[in-house]
Amino acid sequence: MSTLRHMPSTPPSQHRSLQGKAALVTGASSGIGREIALELARRGAVVGVNYIGKPDAAQEVVQAIANEQGKALACEADVSKAADVTRMVSDFIKQAGRIDVLVNNAGIEEESPFLEKTEEEWDKVMAVNLKGPFLCTQMAARSMAKTGGGTIINISSVHEDLPFPGYASYCAAKGGLRMLCRDLALELAPHKINVVNVAPGAIATPINLRTLQDPEKKLALIREIPLGRIGEPSDVAKLVCYLASDDASYITGTTVVIDGGLMHQTGSL
Ligand code: NAD
């Protein structure tokens, strides 16, 4: 019984669906990115765990993957800096042999009323949430174009479409990511590179800590979600694994929403 309890949750039908693939996940030392890294590895991919500033947290993810007999390596880089991204992607390719999947997951949120927003905040959110995916995608796609193709998955947000007062920079960056996905899907299709956005609704991660730790705010949020629960990082991770697999090879240039119905709720957020 105790062995069964420690078995990974991957359903047998999806077992090893990513065997032989190499996948790099940005912002993978916490939250959704951490879970994506774990699930990709469970399905057989060699995983690059990108992180910024927290080597211990990244090492914990690499160790958790190794404990399940998976393969992973920690990859330090600030995704908003071209020199960091160039070094990270080329080191990953050197060590993993190739890159088949890039998950642009790293992201930050800053809340402030629009009339008080600073240039610094605007630039910071744009740099991580929009310039980061540009830099990482360009580096990864240059390699994928030479090796026969690949998949770029952007972790966007329901706020690539849904307004969110107080979060103008976040919404503008995710809205930009929406068009980047559609544009690159066309431009990279001749290289057999698919580009897909995943738009989560409310997922229980450190980014939402203030809401999750406030019982009233948490309850109000749950009331907005038709399925009646906040999503788990594993909900998103399983979708990403499907999109990264050959089963999803005809999906490109679109956004897959994963939000428990939140976007369709009248008066949501
Ligand atoms: P999180 O804060 O746990 O994860 C964000 C990660 O990005 C962190 O590991 C952080 O270190 C990393 N990061 C930040 N700046 C970076 C940089 N310059 N370079 C490299 N890494 C950097 O929160 P999360 O909820 O797991 O967020 C992951 C993604 O999911 C984000 O893009 C976020 O916008 C998106 N998202 C989250 C939710 C949600 O409800 N949690 C909903 C929609 C979209």
Mutating to test ligand 1, I would choose from 76, 79, 103, 108 the residue with most ligand atoms within 8 A of its C-beta, which is 108
> Is 107 part of a structural domain of the chain?
yes
Helix (H) or strand (E) holding 132, with range, is helix 132-147
Give residue 145 CA to ligand 1 midpoint distance, Å.
27
Give residue 6 CA to ligand 1 midpoint distance, Å.
27
230 CA: nearest ligand 1 atom: 40
Q: State pLDDT tens for residues 89-140.
A: 999 999 999 999 999 999 999 999 999 999 999 999 999 999 999 999 999 9
Structure tokens of 229?
């629960």
CATH code assigned at 134: 3.40.50.720
Give residue 15 CA to ligand 1 midpoint distance, Å.
27
Q: Indicate the pLDDT class of residue 15, thresholds 50, 70 and 90.
A: confident
> Is 159 part of a structural domain of the chain?
yes
DSSP 8-state secondary structure symbol assigned to residue 16? T
Residues with CB under 6 Å of ligand 1 are 26-27, 29-33, 50, 52, 78-80, 105-108, 128, 155, 157, 200, 202-203, 205-208
> Is 213 part of a structural domain of the chain?
no
CB 4 within 8 A of CB 27: no
Burial class of residue 144, CB neighbours in 10 A (0-12, 13-18, 19+): buried
> Is 252 part of a structural domain of the chain?
yes
How far, CA to CA in Å, does 69 sit from each of 64, 66, 133, 205, 254?
9, 5, 30, 25, 34
Range(s) of the domain holding residue 161:
22-205+233-261
Beta bridge mates, 256: 198
pLDDT at 266: 58
* Amino acid present at 177: L
Q: How far apart are CA 265 and CA 259, in angstroms?
A: 11
> Is 267 part of a structural domain of the chain?
no
* Amino acid present at 240: V
> For atom 33 of ligand 1, which residue has the closest CA?
107
Of 98, 71, 70, 96, the C-alpha closest to 10 is 70
Catalytic residues: 170
Of 127, 89, 92, the C-alpha closest to 108 is 127
Q: State pLDDT tens for residues 175-234.
A: 999 999 999 999 999 999 999 999 999 999 988 898 999 999 999 999 999 999 999 999
Q: How far apart are CA 226 and CA 9, in angstroms?
A: 26
Whether the full predicted model's pTM is greater than 0.75, yes or no, is yes
> Is 62 part of a structural domain of the chain?
yes
29 CA: nearest ligand 1 atom: 9
CB 248 within 8 A of CB 242: yes
Pairing verdict, β 71-76 and 101-104: unpaired
Q: How far apart are CA 224 and CA 265, in angstroms?
A: 7
Q: Indicate the pLDDT class of residue 10, thresholds 50, 70 and 90.
A: low
How many domains, the chain?
1
> Is 217 part of a structural domain of the chain?
no
Of 218, 197, 200, 198, the C-alpha closest to 209 is 218
> Is 224 part of a structural domain of the chain?
no
pLDDT at 2: 37
* Amino acid present at 30: S
